[in-house]
A and B are shown apart, each in its own frame.
Chain A
Amino acid sequence: MEKQAFQKVYAKITNITKATVQLKAQGVGYDEIAMVHGRLGQVVKIIGENVTLQVFSGTEGIPTNAEVIFLGHPPRLKVSDQLAGRFFNAYGEPIDGGPEVEGEIRDIGSPSVNPVRRKQPSQLIATGIAGIDLNNSLVTGQKIPFFADPDQPYNQVMANVALRAEADKIILGGMGLSNDDYLYFKNVFDNAGALDRIISFVNTTENPPVERLLVPDMALTAAEYFAVDHNEKVLVLLTDMTLFADALSIVSNRMDQIPSKDSMPGSLYSDLARIYEKAVQFPAGGSITIIAVTTLSGGDITHAIPDNTGYITEGQLFLRRDTDIGKVIVDPFRSLSRLKQLVIGKQTREDHPQVMNAAVRLYADAANAKTKMENGFDLTDYDERTMKFAKEYSDKLLAIDVNVDTEEMLNITWELFQKYFTKAEVGIKQEFMDKYWKKEE
């Protein structure tokens, strides 16, 4: 970032905290960025002449006579088709050794889409994973996170979903990504021959945590460019939003704000919503779909981060290891796609909603039977049958290594119904029974 004539330069810092510096300056705009001792900072408070800057990479080693240069604009990104296939850091600077991107300069964190200019999401995203397509169908313009324990293979599942989703562009926003995971994404995309569709903004564990705060806005500014200017279907992957929220709390605690639940800032809901609400379907055909990861600590979803996320996103996908089959499955109980009813039974076969619900209900009966068994009670014949059903259902449909189309998923479910149950036990609308139930009773 080169110096320009209109930039104001100061060299007298009055206060320094871990995350911020304060100095006397005039004519500074709120949200404006500045270089502080060669590091990027952003204006977070102005009282009279006193300007407080948040320094993204931390203030270690900054002296009071450090040079502060105000740049006169908020953080921004140059957008053009040259973004495709490139890897950037949180500031939007190339980290792949390639040239600077030429293009139109856009401020990041742009305004919201007028709700009346949105279109209702309506296009099914097929992933081949039945735990998603059958029970929790995704739709373009949706925002949905994986809620996963840190040891679960969420990045792998996400990469699979991204590649199968038939998106025009896939934008990866990596926050606190381990170097291994970063290289994993790079490899998978490369091997799939998809690199030219991928754009990555990456903050790894080696970078300062506060820099992460810029990553979602960078990724979404690029996403809006492709979705609005080119009417493309854009899929944005944000991993791990828990680390993003942690960075928010670092900043707010260092700025002495009153923390609310779990030492998160009181504005956590709004801060997260601002990002997730960028998911949108435009009438002209472009869309932004956000698939995120929120890692849980000890599976606790009442923690402020997953809790606020759940209130914002359109459902959530839980991964769980099913010890009966030794595979990771998409948990049908706690997972939910809120937008599935817009497409199931409409863009998929008519019996989809009822089949889905019946299977989950029977799966729940199996869980109850299992509890009974563990408590040493006798099982009824029905209990035995539900448990057998559950195991097969889990293996053939819920496991994340499944890759079949939705029609096939429904057929498999009907087969399982007929193998283990009577019509009354399945309890589906008569018209579908007549059509899909082949077994004599």
Chain B
Amino acid sequence: MDKNKKTTGKVAGIIANLVIIDVDGPVAQNEICFIKHQETDLMAEVIKVLGNHAYVQVFESTRGLKIGTEAHFEGHMLEVTLGPGILSRNYDGLQNDLDKMEGIFLKRGDYTDPLDREKLWDFKPLAKAGDKVHAGDWLGEVDENTMPHKIMVPFKFEGAYTVKSVVPEGQYKVDDEIAVLTDSKGKDISVTMVQKWPVKVAIRAYKEKPRPFKPLETGVRVIDTLNPIAEGGTGFIPGPFGTGKTVLQHAISKQAEADVVVIAACGERANEVVEIFTEFPELDDPRTGRKLMERTTIIANTSNMPVAAREASVYTAMTIGEYYRSMGLRVLLMADSTSRWAQALREMSNRLEELPGQDAFPMDLSAIISNFYSRAGYVFLNNGATGSITFIGTVSPAGGNLKEPVTESTRKAARCFYGLSQARADSKRYPAIDPIDSYSKYLEYPEMQKYYEENVSENWLDGVITAKDILLRGKEAQEQINILGDDGVPIDFHERFWNSELIDFVILQQDAFDNIDCSTPMERQEYMLAKVLNVTKMKFDFKHFVDVQNFFKNIINVFKQMNYSEFQSDDFKKYEKELEKLLAEHVVEEVS
């Protein structure tokens, strides 16, 4: 898109944030332009071109805008600025630093620098003169909140380069030259710590993208034990309002074994973002002991912020994720909610009077969603190091109906399905992930199965399958009991039902607001699953179904006290003893 003269134009039509511009030169699809409204520049993106009319979506309110207003086209697509200092920042959907904006209210056209240009970084060279390098290769590193932040050959560089020089170890600002590269034609190019990249294009500076092959620990039992997500995998959480999507995502972003967490608050509540701002700087990363905020970047385009920037926000988040993945880091990317992004697409598509698909969503919704999810993944970088983006999006189905287009399209794209059930949420069985309908395709991957055998235990997966089986059989038994009455079924129906309740209360249900119960390390999950499954294998001497109910309520109560106690602490062991006593009162045969 190299042009000598910038294209300009004049506003010829305004329908909310869709503006038609009469242009005097070439424009590209998705090119960025600025509309000069009074003293402010309103940023906009080209979304359709008809003759010399460019249709642009404005990332701001168009209140007061008039016909004839001038616009300048920038010759590039929407880009993010990549460099050290992104972690622990709060950006809007277009990567403006929210903390740098003045005043209480957001002002139109207030575009702020995503990076700190004055800060000095401790730079260490990793490449040396004479090295052959390609886009994404590491030239050096700086220390970003104790994370090794790699300074890379800019992703836009095509082909092979030779390193001419790299600056020695020392303190530099992001805009200082840190290396000079020579291209194949012998031309020298200066490289700083900053580069730009268009958000809608995937960064492909890696050698290979294998299938995910190992689990990513989240500390959430119903995920890790029953339906694990893989490192570099994808998952989605659909659920009616209030069923716990956001609480679950926040829990995962606090606990998961990730180096970097990028949270895209996409068209949701501002108070939920404030919760992160407030809590993450106080909370410790369980693995490094550093504050959670130090590994987290927030992209906040809340529901009251401009709708067009909402669409951009998920791409901004993904691109930042790809940037850190290229450094060999494990990135966890969260988007809440991808339905709001789809709605932003719908609003614009309707204004453009495009032929609508189902529920008035754009026809290519499914393709757009799949394309986005495909940017996640585990990669081998050119230098053999590995990095990953694990992506989990929430979906807010209209009317709670999982047959609507966004849920259906996402189901095709994501490998894990964590469906939240209204009934479970209503009865406060949190997290309300439906144990029967939810799935992880990764459990079927032979590479994952092998990983469990080698790293957890030989029979771990058997236990998982047994637990799922018990849950299913418990549900069937419950249906029978409901139809035939407590007295109308044999006593072992009650046992079957209560075995599933045991797994439900002890393994599935987890109190996100309890300091201990909120996160369960894998070792503890193994221990508890074994303990619970052991009980389900025992034979008891119940005479009456009321005995079954009372007995199980008692042991569930003790199990729950164990969940609330520090693992293997005195309290924990005390409850474990109590449990053994209760079991001994009724057990007739132990099977192990």
Partner of B63, one of A28, A29, A258: A29
Q: List chain B residues, Cβ under 8 A from A267.
A: 307, 347
- A436: Cβ under 8 A from any B Cβ: no
Residue of A nearest to B307 (CB): A270
Q: B360 — which chain A residues lie within 8 A by C-beta?
A: 258-260, 266
Q: In the bound complex, what is the Cα–Cα distance between A349 and B277 (angstroms)?
A: 26
Chain B: number of interface residues, binned into ranges: 35 or more
Decide if B14 touches A45 in the complex (CB within 8 Å).
yes
B426 touches A114 (CB 8 A): no
- Given A120-B275, A425-B553, the answer on whether A111 and B303 have CB atoms closer than 8 Å is no
CA distance A272 to B160 in the complex (A): 52
- Rounded to whole angstroms, the CA-CA distance of A353 and B515 in the bound complex is 14
Q: A47 is contacted by which of B13, B16, B107 (Cβ under 8 Å)?
A: B13
Give 1 or 0 for each of A408-441: 1 = CB within 8 Å of chain B CB: 0000000000000000110101100000000000
Contact A270 B427 (CB under 8 A): no
Query: Using Cβ atoms and an 8 Å threshold, which residues of chain A touch B67?
Result: 26-28, 46, 48-49
State whether A116 and B269 are in contact (beta carbons under 8 Å apart), knowing that A31-B62, A266-B360, A380-B486 are contacts in the complex: no
Whether a CB of chain A sits under 8 angstroms from the CB of B428 is: yes
Q: Which of A71-124 contact B (CB under 8 A)?
A: 74, 107, 109-121
CA distance A333 to B426 in the complex (A): 6
Q: Give the residue of B108, B343, B399, B513 whose beta carbon is less than 8 angstroms from that of A302.
A: B399
Tell me whether A114 and B398 are in contact (CB under 8 A): no
CA distance A95 to B214 in the complex (A): 68
Interface with A: B96-104, B114-122, B164-172, B319-327, which one? B96-104
CA distance A261 to B240 in the complex (A): 16
State the CA gap A34–B103 with chains docked (Å).
31
Residue B145 CB within 8 A of the other chain: no
Most interface-central of A121, A304, A316, A338 (chain B CB within 10 A): A338
Report yes or no: A307 in contact with B14, Cβ–Cβ below 8 A.
no
Which residue of B has the minimal Cβ distance to A48? B12
Tell me, rounded to whole Å, the shortest Cβ–Cβ distance linking A252 to chain B: 10
A32-B64, A261-B398, A304-B398 given as contacts; is B15 within 8 A of A311 (CB)? Answer: no
Which of A153-161, A236-244, A357-365, A397-405 lies at the binding interface? A357-365
- Asked whether, in the complex, the Cβ of A112 is within 8 Å of the Cβ of B304, the reply is yes
Most central of B15, B105, B269, B564 by chain A CB within 10 Å: B269
Q: Does A339 contact B (CB under 8 A)?
A: yes
Q: Which residue of chain B lies nearest to A267 when distances are taken between CB atoms in the complex? A: B347
Task: Determine whether A182 belongs to the interface, using a CB cutoff of 8 Å to chain B.
Answer: no
Interface residues in B268-324 by Cβ distance below 8 A to A read 269-271, 273-275, 277-278, 300, 302-305, 307
Bound: A273/B87 CA distance, A: 29
Name the CB-closest residue of A to B343.
A269
Q: By the criterion CB–CB under 8 Å, are A74 and B487 in contact?
A: no
Tell me the minimal C-beta distance from A260 to chain B in angstroms.
5
Is B248 an interface residue, CB under 8 A from the partner? no
Q: Which residue of A lies closest to B278 (CB)?
A: A120
Q: CB within 8 Å of B: which of A293-327? A: 302-304, 307, 310-312, 314-316
Least distance between B234 CB and chain A CB atoms (Å): 23
Q: Are B486 and A277 in contact (CB under 8 A)?
A: no
Instruction: Using known A-B contacts A266-B347, A336-B242, determine if residue A353 contacts B513 with beta carbons closer than 8 Å.
Output: yes
Q: State which of B409-417, B435-443, B460-468, B554-562 sits at the interface with chain A.
A: B554-562
> For A259, A267, A270, A314, which residue has the most chain B Cβ atoms within 10 angstroms?
A270
- B374 interface residue per 8 A CB criterion: no
Once bound together, how far apart are the Cα atoms of A382 and B343, in whole Å?
48
* Among B269, B271, B275: residue with most chain A CB under 10 A: B271
Q: What CA separation (Å) do A382 and B554 show in the bound complex?
A: 14
Q: Which B residues, 372 to 413, have Cβ-Cβ distances below 8 Å to chain A?
A: 396, 398-401
Instruction: Note all chain B residues with C-beta closer than 8 A to A278.
Output: 304
Interface check B359, CB cutoff 8 A: yes
Point out the residues of chain A lying under 8 angstroms from B14, CB to CB. Answer: 30, 45-47
- A269, B513: Cβ atoms under 8 Å? no
A188 at interface, CB cutoff 8 A = no
The smallest beta-carbon distance between B274 and chain A, in angstroms, is 5
> In the complex, which of the residues B12, B16, B304, B400 contacts A277, with contact meaning CB atoms closer than 8 Å?
B304
Q: Which A-chain residue is minimally distant from B102 (CB atoms)?
A: A114
Structural contact, A115 and B557, CB atoms closer than 8 A? no
Contacts of B302 in A (CB 8 A): 112, 115, 277
> CA–CA, A116 to B62, complex, Å?
24
Flag if B300 contacts A31 (CB, 8 Å): no
B269 touches A29 (CB 8 A): no
Determine if B66 is an interface residue (Cβ-Cβ < 8 Å): yes
Chain A nearest CB from B574 CB (Å) reads 10
B50 beta carbon closer than 8 Å to chain A:
no
Give every chain B residue within 8 A of A110 (Cβ-Cβ): 105
Rounded to whole angstroms, the CA-CA distance of A60 and B427 in the bound complex is: 52
Task: Report the Cα distance A57→B430, complex, angstroms.
Answer: 48
A3 at the interface (CB under 8 A from B): no
Which of A112, A270, A353, A430 is the one whose CB lies under 8 Å from B105?
A112
Q: Fill in one digit per residue for B237-266: 1 if any A CB lies within 8 Å of its CB, else 0.
A: 000111000000000000000000000000
Hey, which chain A residues are within 8 Å of B553, CB to CB? Answer: 424-425, 427
Q: Which residue of B lies closest to A46 (CB)?
A: B14
Give me 25 A-to-B residue pairs in the complex whose CB atoms sit less than 8 angstroms apart, sorted by A's number. A27-B67, A28-B66, A29-B63, A30-B62, A30-B63, A30-B64, A31-B61, A47-B13, A47-B14, A114-B101, A114-B104, A114-B105, A117-B103, A141-B271, A260-B359, A260-B360, A270-B303, A270-B307, A274-B304, A277-B270, A302-B401, A307-B398, A312-B269, A357-B428, A377-B486
Chain B contact residues, CB within 8 Å of chain A? 12-16, 20, 61-67, 90, 98-99, 101, 103-108, 240-242, 267, 269-271, 273-275, 277-278, 300, 302-305, 307, 340, 343, 346-347, 350, 356, 359-360, 396, 398-401, 426-428, 485-488, 513, 546, 549-550, 553-554, 556-557, 560-561, 564
Further contacts, 5 of them, CB under 8 A, given A109-B63, A112-B305, A360-B428: A30-B62, A116-B90, A314-B271, A377-B487, A425-B553
